[in-house]
Amino acid sequence: MTHLRNAAVALVVLLLVVAGGWASWGSAQHVLLSKGREHGTLTVTGCTEERCSGRYVPEDPSVTRRTLTIERSVAAEKGVTIPVVVKPGTDEGVRAGWGGGLHAWLPLGGALLLAAPLVAGGLRMTRAAWSLAGAGGALLVAAFFAL
């Protein structure tokens, strides 16, 4: 019976971490694999509850200027200039650089923090749980300071 409980808890932990990684990869792939993608800067002109938009200035002078949107974060205020990578085929940007990379991995950091109590209580692996919690917490704190 103990093996069945451990297997169930391990499956839930795996599901949490994979879901966090999957949710992060949607934005992180554009930051991490940015070679060959369109780069530039976005000057924020306005924000809603979920998105900010603004004037985009590409690094390549042959690309036309246009309006882009970006996911809203605490660092996106009106008038702020943000380095971005444009998602191919869209008018949506992803914050570039260290801040963008860490911001993209926030869902994984949250998943690691959620998985830590399950590992500690369900699997009775306290060292592994502290490691998961430390990695998730470090990711969240680093993203906070990088933005």
For residues 85 and 100, the answer to whether their CB atoms sit within 8 Å is yes
Could you read off the pLDDT of 32-90 as tens digits, one per residue? 998 889 999 999 999 988 999 999 999 988 888 889 999 887 677 889 999 999 999 89
d(CA 62, CA 14): 46
Q: Which pairing describes strands 92-95 and 66-71: parallel, antiparallel, or unpaired? A: parallel
Predicted local confidence at residue 24, as pLDDT: 96
For residues 99 and 75, the answer to whether their CB atoms sit within 8 Å is yes
Predicted local confidence at residue 74, as pLDDT: 65
Predicted local confidence at residue 55, as pLDDT: 93
Predicted local confidence at residue 44, as pLDDT: 93
Could you read off the pLDDT of 120-139 as tens digits, one per residue? 999 999 999 999 999 999 99
